[in-house]
Structure 1
């Protein structure tokens, strides 16, 4: 049966004290203090408690957690719909002030609850998904329910030039280290990608054949070619197999990250080496070269490169020929092609010779013009007196 105190007649402080003592006994003060201490003992710092939103005051949300006084939480820790009066909320006790005022934190409670859930449901080696929040020193911060660390070296198969590009993306990673005491988790996206790559490689090897058309992505560019990721295996696209025409550097044809379709030229299963081709997707312009460029026929071309021994002239994409210095002029003694032409010049040339095996064409510039020596006798008959300028003196 519940205790029912008799009605107290209050006259003055002394009388009130006497009446209280008559009702509750001589240990009233100790009882009250003990009761308050017992209530305080139920609430302590770092404890997570459940409360209800009472209202808002200035920049704080007032929470009733069942303590003798209400607690406050910074307004910034809530979203709008969470602060309506009567809303149930879990908060952490940050501090109980000497005057009984209680400082609370919803953010710290959410973080603690999140950590307990993550640590309780996951172990090292498990895969998790999360959103990349921001870039920090040495890597990225990823939210998987709690913020975890993704080192820059573990973001991709190759170290990313700028890991900031991943901010806002949802990534899958493997937990590689858990420090429960410090509440620290390190994850690796690279391990997940390596595992996927291994599975793809096994499937790719089974179905890879010479002559296949495969789509890949340019992963690396060197002076001699580009490495293409076929989805588990990397193949080399050599610079000589990029185009039927002249390529001075692979970057003229491909760029990092570019999606590209290539032809499988060769596959060495023992060494896991794949040779790829791009120009092989199109017709070889040398196949009917003789029909398009008959011997002694004249054509227009463009000077594309100069060497000490002559100039290379492009007749069409993929078809170039050499004009030797001795074939540049009927009247000049050319020691270097730059004396006659420069890259970009349009010139008229004649087909002198075609080597189908070596895919080489010999061209002549002077042959495309009239030979001044053909009518030299008519122009300068023997016995005729002429005037001229001395150009050179020899022994």
Structure 2
């Protein structure tokens, strides 16, 4: 920021004093004893007019040209996109006046005060407060620059969500609106979207407003201004921490598609693919299952990256086709069949390890 004129005057005076003292130091001899003596009568009193500092340029010991030259040295070349330090000196109905050291005070419009919704400027700024500002545009015809805080917060918000995505973090955010496609939330001040297919809740979508949901990042694209999140992935990951492949769980049929059925298992959905319903061929899942059916299923795959849980009843059939002829028999023997399935997986793992060792030894 540009110093005030009195500071500039002082700097010029100091420069001349240094210059003069350097000349004297290089040209004068050792001072004589009589040169060091003084008369106390020569010292002006505290209220003497001659003791007061005079800041008029005419008596400052340098010319107007020298002052203008030094002033120009402090006139920074402000450019759009720059970050500058500034001090708030006035809050007005439509924005704030900011001193950034330019010849004319800069102006920050009300809509640029924050990335979040605020009631007034005083929610964010206070008079005499100093902080960083973003220059939005060139000087207008009056030589005034337009500033923003929102742009700084916007850039830092995208940096933050990119880091959160990189860490595969789970965040919590409040649903502030819903539409036909899904739900809207705010993350670090940015608007995010949860597709309907990634909302996993027992409430209907319209009743989610005001709810805080755990979320995972699906897409973070600043250039396209796209921030897409998944509630289902966050729930599945949480649930997966307590689940394992080969485990039998109780679920309820929530939806049936031509390719399979979606089973709710404690608040998260797993897919029972048509090929995993029975050893026997099935034309459509509707021939075997109905919405709201309670059933036992076994977990055959946990994909935390995509937030998917794959289920099977085929692996629980004591005899091929039992899911078509006697589903209750399958559910009664589910744990017994699951134990056999786990043993089979363990034996396959051991065989694979032995083969790996044999290959390594033969190389």
Q: Provide TM-score, normalisation by structure 1.
A: 0.44
- The structure showing larger relative contact order (alpha-carbon pairs under 8 Å, at least 6 residues apart) is 2
Greater strand fraction, Structure 1 or Structure 2: 1
Q: Provide TM-score, normalisation by structure 2.
A: 0.47
Greater helix fraction, Structure 1 or Structure 2: 2
